[in-house]
Structure 1
C-alpha cells in the first residue's frame, strides 16, 4: 500500500516526540505479556499509518477499533538486516516505540499487528527479506516483535518489485517457517498474514507464486489478505461486487494449494482490505459507505478471517472529491463510519 516518503520524512520528528512523551509516562517500559493472546477467528484490523506521529491507541479508542495493523516496518537502507518503524533508526523495535500504545490496545482486549513492507519499501529494496540475506536474522526480527510487544500476528505487505524478487520471496518464507518453529517451541501463539494485490478474479501469478513458495518451505500462512482496490484496469467498478469475485478467485486458488482443507476452513484464512472512498486510480474505483455495509454482511456470511481498511486516518469525509489521499476518503461520510461498519463483523458469531 502506498505512502509518500516526503510525508514520512516531514513527520519523523513528530513521531519521535510522541515516542518520548510515552517514555515519560513510564507506560512504555511496562513488560509485555509473556504469552500473547491468540488472534480471534474474526477480526477487524484497519491499517494505521505509523509515520504520522499520531497515537494508534488514541485513534483506536476514538474509532471503536480494538485491533490495528501498524504500517510499516522496513530497513533503513537496502542491505540492512535491522527493521525499524518507517525505516527510521530513531524508531526501533523497542518498548520506547509504540510500546505504550500496544499495551493500551491489549488492555482493551485487542492487539497490534505489525506490518512489514508496503509500496515504498517494496520498491526501494528495504522490505526486510529483500534487504537482508540472512534468513536467521530475518526470523530473529519476527521473533523480537513477539517478545518485545506481546503480539500474535505479523503481516507482510508484498507488492510491486518485491513480488518479482524471487530470492527475497524464498528467504521470507524460510524465515516464516523458522519463526513458526521457534513459536511452537517457546509457546508463543504466532500467525503470519500475507497482504497481496489482487485482480477482480483472484491473485496474479506473482502473488500466487508467493504462496506456492510458502508451501514448498512448510511456512504456514494463516491469512491471505487481498487488497481489493487500485485495480488500474480502466473499468468502472462496483467495489463490493468486485471484492466478492476477487475473494471467490482466491478461494479457488487456495483450494488448489491446500486440497485437504474444507471450503469453510479456506474461507477462514482469507482477509480483505478495502480503501475507503476514492482510491489511487480515481472515481471509477470508489468504495462507498454502502459498499462497506454490503462487504461486512458478505464477510460475516462467508466466515472470512479479517476485514481491514487502508487506512484508519482516511476514515473521514474531510476532502470530498479528492482521490488517493493519506488523510481522508474523498467521499461524504461521518468520521469513523467505515470503521464502525466493519467493527460489526468482529462481533458477529
Structure 2
C-alpha cells in the first residue's frame, strides 16, 4: 500500500525545540542517573497492553509535557534516520544537531519513565523509506546497524524499538535482510547483557490484511532468527477510492486478516498468542486520502472496546499532536485531526485499553 506521507513525512533539517532545558548529564553523575532510571521503571519490559501514540519529534514542544497533558504514559517517538544515504549514523529526523545522546530528548524520556511509562523510538517512516535514509537501507554494515539499536537502550534505557517499514523500503530486499540480521544481533546482545529489548514492526495494511511484500519482511525475520514482538498495522490511508470507509470496521477487518496471516507464520503461538503480538495504529480524523477515510471519535471508542476484547498488544495513532479539533475539514494535517473534537479526545478514548499494565500499575 502506497501512502502520500504528507502528515508523516520526516522533515529533515529542522531542529527540535523540545530539548531546551534540564538535560540529563552522564558525566560523574552517570552512575546515580542509572540508578534513578532503574528505580523509575526504565529498563522494565513493556506492558502486554499499551497505548503508545506517535509523537512528531520535529515539532516544537516537550514530549514529556505533552504526554502528561494528554494522559499518555507511553509515546512512540518518530523518527530516527540517517542524514544521508550511505551513512551508518542515525539522528532524530536525520538532523545532525539531534544525535542519539542524552542531550537529545534525554530529560523528556527520563521524565516519562519517572512517571511510570516509557518511550518507543521509531526508525524509518515514509520520509526515510522514500529517501534511502532508513538506517538499514542506508547502512550496509549489519553490525553497525545493530550497534545503533543497542545505543538507544544504553542511552535512553528504552525497552522497545519500532521499525516503520513502508513504501520503497518494502521492496529493498537487501535492506530488509540487513535489518532483520541486525535485529537478531541486537536481541542476542540484550540477552547476553541483561537488557530488556523488544522490536515492533509498523507496516501498511489493506483492510484485507498484509500484502505479499509486507509478509515477506516477516518471513525474512523468521529466516534470520529475529524475534518480532509486535506487528503493528497502519489501518488508514488505504487509497483504494472504492467507497466511504467505516474506519472502525475496516480496522477490525484488517486485524482479523492479519491474525490469520500471523497464525500461519507463527503456528506455535496459538490464537491468543498471535493476538498478543498485534498492534493497530489509527489516524484520528481525516487522513491523508481525504474525507472518505475519516476515523471518528465514535470509531475510536469502538476500536478500543474491540482491542480490549481481543487482548491485542498495542493501540496507537498518528500522531499525538493531531489530537485536537483545531482544523475542522482539513485532511492529513500534522497538528490537528480535521474533525470536531475535544482536545485529547482520542487519547482519552484509547486510555482504558492500557489502564493496567503487567505490574498492576494504573
Q: 1:26 Cα deviation (Å)?
A: 6.0
Q: Measure the CA separation in 2 of the matches of 1:348 and 1:106.
A: 16
Q: Measure the CA separation in 2 of the matches of 1:39 and 1:89.
A: 29
What residue in structure 2 maps to residue 139 of structure 1? 146
What residue in structure 2 maps to residue 119 of structure 1? 126
Q: Measure the CA separation in 2 of the matches of 1:263 and 1:57.
A: 36
Q: Measure the CA separation in 2 of the matches of 1:3 and 1:190.
A: 31
Question: What does 1:288-299 correspond to in 2, within 5 Å?
Answer: 288-299=296-307
Paired residues of 1:157 and 1:194 also in contact (CA < 8 A): yes
Is 1:59 aligned with 2:66? Answer: yes
Q: Measure the CA separation in 2 of the matches of 1:4 and 1:138.
A: 27
Show CA shifts across 1:34-74 (max 9, x none).
66010000000000001012110010000000000000000
Is 1:222 aligned with 2:225? Answer: no
Q: 1:260 Cα deviation (Å)?
A: 1.3
Q: Measure the CA separation in 2 of the matches of 1:271 and 1:180.
A: 20
Question: What does 1:167-316 correspond to in 2, within 5 Å?
Answer: 167-234=174-241, 235-316=243-324
1:8 to 8, 11, 15: 11
Paired residues of 1:315 and 1:337 also in contact (CA < 8 A): yes
Q: 1:343 Cα deviation (Å)?
A: 1.1
What residue in structure 1 maps to residue 52 of structure 2? 45
Report the secondary structure of 1:202's partner residue.
Answer: coil
What residue in structure 2 maps to residue 149 of structure 1? 156
Report the secondary structure of 1:112's partner residue.
Answer: strand
2:350 to 318, 342, 345: 342
Q: Assess, with a 3 A threshold, how the Cα gap between structure 1 residues 7 and 166 changes in structure 2: closer, same or farther.
A: closer
2:171 to 164, 169, 183: 164
Q: 1:20 Cα deviation (Å)?
A: 3.9
2:92 to 80, 85, 89: 85
Q: Measure the CA separation in 2 of the matches of 1:100 and 1:268.
A: 31
Give the CA RMSD over aligned residues: 1.9
Paired residues of 2:6 and 2:332 also in contact (CA < 8 A): no
Paired residues of 2:12 and 2:94 also in contact (CA < 8 A): no
Show CA shifts across 1:14-35 (max 9, x none).
x1x5424233x86998634366
Q: 1:3 Cα deviation (Å)?
A: 5.0
Q: Measure the CA separation in 1 of the matches of 2:18 and 2:268.
A: 48
Q: 1:169 Cα deviation (Å)?
A: 0.2
Structure-1-length-normalised TM-score: 0.95
Q: Measure the CA separation in 1 of the matches of 2:9 and 2:295.
A: 26
Q: Assess, with a 3 A threshold, how the Cα gap between structure 1 residues 6 and 157 changes in structure 2: closer, same or farther.
A: closer
Q: Assess, with a 3 A threshold, how the Cα gap between structure 1 residues 6 and 338 changes in structure 2: closer, same or farther.
A: closer
Q: How many residues are paired up? A: 345
Judge which range, 26-35 or 40-49, deviates more: 26-35
Report the secondary structure of 2:200's partner residue.
Answer: strand
Structure-2-length-normalised TM-score: 0.92
Report the secondary structure of 1:321's partner residue.
Answer: coil
Paired residues of 2:146 and 2:186 also in contact (CA < 8 A): yes
**Structure 1 alignment gaps of length 5 or more:** none
Is 1:21 aligned with 2:21? Answer: yes
Q: Measure the CA separation in 2 of the matches of 1:49 and 1:284.
A: 24
Paired residues of 1:57 and 1:101 also in contact (CA < 8 A): yes
Report the secondary structure of 1:250's partner residue.
Answer: helix
What residue in structure 1 maps to residue 360 of structure 2? none
Paired residues of 2:248 and 2:295 also in contact (CA < 8 A): yes
From the two aligned structures, give the one with the greater helix fraction: 1
